[in-house]
Amino acid sequence: MSLANKYRPKTFDEMIWQEHIIDILKAQMKSRDVVHHNYLLFWPRWTWKTTSARLIAKALNCLNLQDWNPCNHCANCELINNWTSLDYVEIDAASHTWVDNIREEIIDKASYPPTTLSKKIYVIDEVHMLSKWAFNALLKTIEEPKGNVCFIFATTEIHKVPDTIISRCQVFNYKKVPDNAMVSHLENICKQENLKYTESALKIISNISEWCVRDAVKYVDQVSILWDLNEENVARFLWVAWESLIKETLQDIKTWDREKIFSKLDNIWWQGIDLSQFAKQTIGYLDQHLLEDTDFYLRCSEIFWDIISTIKRYPYPIVAYKIAINKYLNGNNTESTSKPVIEKKIISEEKKNDWKKEEPQKIEEQKPEIKQDSEKKAENTPQENKPNDHKDYSWNFKELWNNVLEKMNKPTAQTHLKDEAIIEKKEGNILEITVITSLAKVLLNNEDNKKVLEKLLSDELGENITMNITFIKKEEYFAQKMWL
Ligand SMILES: [Zn+2]
């Protein structure tokens, strides 16, 4: 059995770093007769999704709860574990068959009482993929909760789930597992499996698994074949870099010594390290250590984003590194070389105003205000609050943002800013933008990026736009949205 399966959580208590959810679930199990919730499980990143849904399903049906955890041995737990009861249904909404058949397969059948279990459970994974029609059909079912039917929805993109569904569910935000908790979890596994390990090696694994426990355990499993999880083995087996190598590389870049930097890069390349992964690891490192050398690390973030976005264009990834670093080294002597080129491109590019055409009236309404504001330029502060702006333009803001990012001509920035930076409202010529990840924050705090985006937004809206950026953690952001 793989370690990932062996250490898959079988009780609530085994879900690491999710105490905020465990406490609520256990409290609900204690007062079992009042449990008539539907659940919406939200993950910032794919992890133990169906596992967690199954845990709740088992606990709701378990005949012999152990400290309010499912026992995993009673008849009902077994039925769910083996997936042999018709009362327990797991559906992947990403599959179109289910979307089409939602009425026949779920809604009609949900009205019959359970036959083998005490509660009928429908788990719908990737629920945000359901069509509007399917959501409406579901809504009617969950609006009239029955004591013996429970829906458990799971999603990685809660912003795509309609508010009407969210407001009728108990929402659980699963947290990313930070390095410390992840490393101690992996340590426990290594001890139980009699594996030799070093803490720094486990830290690398935590880092490349991007806070996802399942992936981290999978990596431990892969390297465990060598029985010794040290930095060298982890690096060799997973083709990744160890932290001191990343640090050294950054120090070399700081010397501006082209020969030294390029020879270091060649060295990394010949060691067989996966250079795409190396760029990602470096960005992770920069983000974690941003305060140690903020200006330099922000510039480095930009270099490595450049590398990630161009690396696939070259048959040898090392070339992407050398070009990006060379550009940076040249830029230090003659300001930024890339900026004039980008601006030229923006001016020459044909405007895409499709989003304007669809709602022409609203744009015109804005115009008198626009002129006034553009005269006042950047130091302008909004004169009046227009609470309705948000609602009226929310549909357009998304389109506006996507159009602008497309024109920015930076695929990586586009990918990360698309859903991780949100235009909240426009007040005068100020666009209020919320960023919900630290990577998006780094990208938008970069002066060059900011200038380019403000220029593009100004072109689209026909006035001098200033972006006002607020950072808020993704989980908190969606939690706020949910209760608004
Ligand atoms: Zn049980």
Lowest mean pLDDT among 283-287, 292-296, 333-337: 333-337
- CB atoms near residue 301 (< 10 Å): 21
Ligand 1 mean position, distance from CA 73 (Å): 5
- The pLDDT of residue 370 is above 80: no
Q: Report whether CATH 1.20.120.160 matches the domain 353-483.
A: no
Q: Which residues of 130-164 are buried (b: 16+ CB within 10 A; e: fewer)?
A: beeebbeebeebbeeeeebbbbbbbbbebeebeee
pLDDT band at residue 475 under the 50/70/90 scheme: low
pLDDT band at residue 391 under the 50/70/90 scheme: very low
Ligand 1 mean position, distance from CA 57 (Å): 10
Report if pTM > 0.75.
Answer: no
Ligand 1 mean position, distance from CA 213 (Å): 25
DSSP string, 209-233: TTT-HHHHHHHHHHHGGGSEE-HHH
Ligand 1 mean position, distance from CA 188 (Å): 26
Q: Cα-flanking dihedrals φ and ψ of residue 170, to 5°?
A: -80, 120
Nearest in space to 234 (alpha carbons), one of 274, 191, 264, 284 = 274
Ligand 1 mean position, distance from CA 59 (Å): 7
Ligand 1 mean position, distance from CA 49 (Å): 20
Report pLDDT digits (tens) over 3-60: 989 999 999 999 988 999 999 999 999 887 556 679 999 987 657 788 899 999 999 9
pLDDT band at residue 334 under the 50/70/90 scheme: very low
Mean predicted lDDT score pLDDT of the chain: 81
pLDDT at 54: 94
Token pair belonging to 224: 């465990």
Report pLDDT digits (tens) over 100-148: 677 777 878 888 889 999 999 999 999 998 888 888 888 888 887 677 8
Report pLDDT digits (tens) over 65-100: 999 999 999 999 999 999 899 999 998 888 765 566
Ligand 1 mean position, distance from CA 74 (Å): 4
Please state the rounded mean pLDDT for residues 344-365.
39
Report pLDDT digits (tens) over 416-437: 788 788 888 888 888 888 888 7
Distances (CA, A) of 188 to 103, 223, 467: 46, 16, 47
- How far apart CA 196 and CA 194 sit, in angstroms, is 7
* Look-up of token digits 């949910």: 482
Ligand 1 mean position, distance from CA 6 (Å): 19
Share of residues in the chain with pLDDT > 90 (%): 40
pLDDT band at residue 332 under the 50/70/90 scheme: low
Ligand 1 mean position, distance from CA 80 (Å): 9
Ligand 1 mean position, distance from CA 269 (Å): 52
CATH of domain 179-238: 1.10.8.60
- CB atoms near residue 227 (< 10 Å): 12
Distance between first and last Cα of the chain: 46
Ligand 1 mean position, distance from CA 50 (Å): 18
Ligand 1 mean position, distance from CA 23 (Å): 19
Report the SS3 class of residue 31. Answer: coil
Report pLDDT digits (tens) over 225-239: 888 999 888 988 888
Ligand 1 mean position, distance from CA 9 (Å): 15
- The pLDDT of residue 439 is above 60: yes
Ligand 1 mean position, distance from CA 124 (Å): 22
Residue, of 153 and 349, whose pLDDT is higher? 153
pLDDT at 390: 38
Please state the rounded mean pLDDT for residues 270-283.
90
Ligand 1 mean position, distance from CA 82 (Å): 13
Ligand 1 mean position, distance from CA 167 (Å): 30
Ligand 1 mean position, distance from CA 123 (Å): 18
Report pLDDT digits (tens) over 201-217: 999 999 888 778 989 99
Distances (CA, A) of 19 to 10, 15, 85, 176: 15, 8, 30, 12
Ligand 1 mean position, distance from CA 68 (Å): 10
DSSP 435: E
Ligand 1 mean position, distance from CA 15 (Å): 17
Ligand 1 mean position, distance from CA 78 (Å): 7
- How far apart CA 405 and CA 364 sit, in angstroms, is 24
Q: Cα-flanking dihedrals φ and ψ of residue 247, to 5°?
A: -60, -45
pLDDT at 131: 84
Q: Which CATH number fits domain 3-173: 3.40.50.1980, 3.30.70.2740, 3.40.50.970, 3.40.50.300?
A: 3.40.50.300
Ligand 1 mean position, distance from CA 10 (Å): 11
Ligand 1 mean position, distance from CA 53 (Å): 15
Ligand 1 mean position, distance from CA 19 (Å): 21
Ligand 1 mean position, distance from CA 60 (Å): 9
Ligand 1 mean position, distance from CA 120 (Å): 15
Ligand 1 mean position, distance from CA 11 (Å): 10
Report the SS3 class of residue 157. Answer: coil
